[in-house]
Amino acid sequence: MELAELVARRPFPAAGLLLGLTRRCPLSCAHCSTGSGLSTRQEPDGRQLERFVGSFTAENRPDVVMLTGGEPLLLPALAERLSTLARSAGSRTALLSGMFFARSGALPAGRSGTARFGRRRSIPPAILRAIRSVDHFSASLDVHHEREVSRADVFRALHLVREEGVAVSLHLTGTGGSDPYLADLTRAVEEEFGGQVPCLVNEVRPFGRAASWARATRTGPDPAAASPCSMAAWPVVAFDGRVLACCNQDTVDRRPAPAHLDLGHIAEDDWATVRRRALESPMLRMLRTVGPAHLAARFGSGPRPGSYCDGCRALGGDEAVAAGARSVAGGAAGALLDLTAAMRGSREGAQGVVRRHGCAEYAPLVVTGEPARPGTDGRDIR
């Protein structure tokens, strides 16, 4: 499964599932959205995760399961079991790693490009088995990761993973389209892999450790205009086992969870129940169709918080908004609205999703082998 296939499914409700295996991580990156570290031992019960994923059926399953953290490869046996369970039902699986296992000394030295990098045991066996079990493997890389795991080490490990026949990609972050670090890094990826490794490029957002120093890069939408939220499409299993309808980290960590974004708990609910709640909720349908600002402007009875996501979280206690959502998005008509919004959101494919939610100037890199294109200001984005 290539990165573009995964990203293109993002607008479709319940087409994917995000599983946070653990908040722990051996790295301590300054921008970590989850505030992860080795001392932050918070993770769902492994048996409950297996039971939840084991409830998938061939007729009722997510298309894509994304294993994340923290660092999911701190639990390689669990990652392998979950991937095997999901694939047995027909789901495809992807895993995102911070690449702690690739630090210098863990892998043999070698030349770049097509050179061989030693025997496959160069990646710890348990971790390699977990990587082999997934359909797609993604590595995080940015200026903060590079302080802990070098670019050269990450590249060497990705060559080894590609030799195993697993599709790979890089998840990169920077300060925006004019960031010289991103220009240098994407150029290095192109030179190292010859356009065969796609990149999902995002901007650092003020969440987790970055909340104290990163600035918001986007202004809120005009309340009168519809601004659909595709991030309310895929359920997220949080580190305490609660299932949320939103992947915004402040929302995922908030307890009690906003009622309209709470889809249940893996200790009590199966995938079919979570999926039904995600698909049939009039509030979630409206968030995916017009977004929280428009919904509040149309039906809201109280003051509107400033940010897009704060405004969404505040909607849970507004009965006038809930009643308005039911009147517009209940029943078959609401399901049709939801599908129409998803189709509109996917019209431009993976690149369109990244232009809306990631770093727009680098959206072409989500497609393997996509040729270099000038940015909106005439610069070459590579």
Report the pLDDT averaged over residues 180-193. Answer: 95
Give the pLDDT score at 382: 35
371 falls within a domain: no
What pTM value is reported for the model?
A: 0.86
Report the pLDDT averaged over residues 241-254. Answer: 91
Taking 50 as the threshold, does the pLDDT of residue 112 lie above it?
no
What proportion of the chain, given as a percentage, has pLDDT over 90? Answer: 60
Range list of H helices, the chain: 3-8, 46-54, 76-88, 125-132, 151-163, 180-193, 249-253, 271-280, 282-289, 292-299, 308-314, 319-329, 331-345, 349-357
374 falls within a domain: no
Give the pLDDT score at 204: 73
Long-range pairs for 203-207: beta carbons < 8 A, 24 or more residues apart: 203/173, 203/174, 203/175, 203/176, 203/358, 203/359, 204/31, 204/142, 204/173, 204/174, 204/175, 205/33, 207/33, 207/248, 207/249, 207/250
90 falls within a domain: yes
Taking 60 as the threshold, does the pLDDT of residue 144 lie above it?
yes
Residues 45 and 150 in one domain: yes
Give the pLDDT score at 208: 52
Taking 80 as the threshold, does the pLDDT of residue 116 lie above it?
no
Report the pLDDT averaged over residues 158-174. Answer: 95
Report the pLDDT averaged over residues 169-182. Answer: 92
Residues 128 and 181 in one domain: yes
Residues 212 and 256 in one domain: no
Burial of 218 (0-12, 13-18, 19+ CB in 10 A): exposed
Task: Look at 21-30, 132-141, 240-249 and tell me which has the smallest mean pLDDT.
Answer: 21-30
Residues 212 and 259 in one domain: no
What are the residues whose beta carbons fall under 8 Å from the beta carbon of 382, sequence distance 6 or more? 183, 186, 187, 190, 365, 372
97 falls within a domain: yes
Give the pLDDT score at 215: 58
Residues 173 and 209 in one domain: yes
Start-to-end C-alpha separation, the chain: 24
Residues 133 and 248 in one domain: no
Give the pLDDT score at 90: 98
379 falls within a domain: no
Residues 115 and 204 in one domain: yes
| Cα dihedral across residues 102, 103, 106, 108: positive or negative | positive
373 falls within a domain: no
225 falls within a domain: no
Give the pLDDT score at 224: 53
Q: What is the pLDDT of residues 339-382, one digit of tens each?
A: 998 888 888 899 999 988 889 999 999 997 565 443 443 333 33
* Number of domains, the chain: 2
Residues 212 and 235 in one domain: no
Q: What is the CATH number of the domain that holds 208?
A: 3.20.20.70
Report the pLDDT averaged over residues 210-234. Answer: 63
Taking 80 as the threshold, does the pLDDT of residue 58 lie above it?
yes
Higher pLDDT: 33 or 53? It is 53
Residues 296 and 362 in one domain: no
Residues 177 and 53 in one domain: yes
CA distance 133 to 381: 34
Residues 253 and 302 in one domain: yes
Task: Look at 61-70, 107-116, 138-147 and tell me which has the smallest mean pLDDT.
Answer: 107-116
Residues 152 and 250 in one domain: no
State which residues form the domain around 83. Answer: 3-217+348-366
pLDDT band at 114 (very low <50, low <70, confident <90, very high): very low
222 falls within a domain: no
The total number of residues written for the chain in this structure: 382
Give the pLDDT score at 249: 86
Structure-token pair, residue 142: 């940015």
Q: What is the pLDDT of residues 263-321, one digit of tens each?
A: 999 999 999 999 999 999 999 999 999 999 888 888 887 666 667 888 898 888 889 99
